Structure 1
């Protein structure tokens, strides 16, 4: 885990870090956009901006975890508990993505809770 001093992170890096987290909401319009948005931001800026490399991976890992949780919840709708779980997953996805975007905008490296770190 990298610790960044908010004064050491440039305004451009903070903006791209913000985009890495907010680009997840493309998934509301485009299927699997919640994965594609952070992936594109990460791939474009990972070699030139260390902060965006870190936050892009974090956003991508979180959205992979959310996708897995949504699929499991979808299967569990067969026994009715899945409907509640889908609402919890959706609410957590929205709230945590906004919190992460605000932290990135301040130059803080945000770590999502309960996230599988598959992309290293």
Structure 2
């Protein structure tokens, strides 16, 4: 398992994507979307001082673990997103966790020692 610790700034997303790309050795749109959604949510809402991401890749299984010391938030308990009936009824926000749940194979969350730990398991074709 390899780790990277980043400042909670949107400009760090590029560094995170490069780090993950180096680990899995290929571009994967679904992985990129998951990483962006989770990272941006943490930066925008958690009030954290840092974000650590652990990456463990044993093809085809990719395990990403996001750790931050921000506000305790279990995304698995968030009210389920209900898609709108039309574009006129659509509201901004709320899609990130929904998309992550749809794209990932498994999500786990726990809060320990003042830190949020969100683990995302995704099978990635080699």
TM interval, short-chain normalised = 0.3 to 0.5
- The TM-score normalised by the length of structure 2 is 0.32
Kindly indicate which of the two structures has a greater share of residues assigned to strand. Answer: 2
Query: Structure 1 length as normaliser, TM-score?
Result: 0.33
Higher relative contact order at CA 8 Å, sep ≥6: structure 1 or structure 2? 1
User: Higher helix fraction: Structure 1 or Structure 2?
Assistant: 1
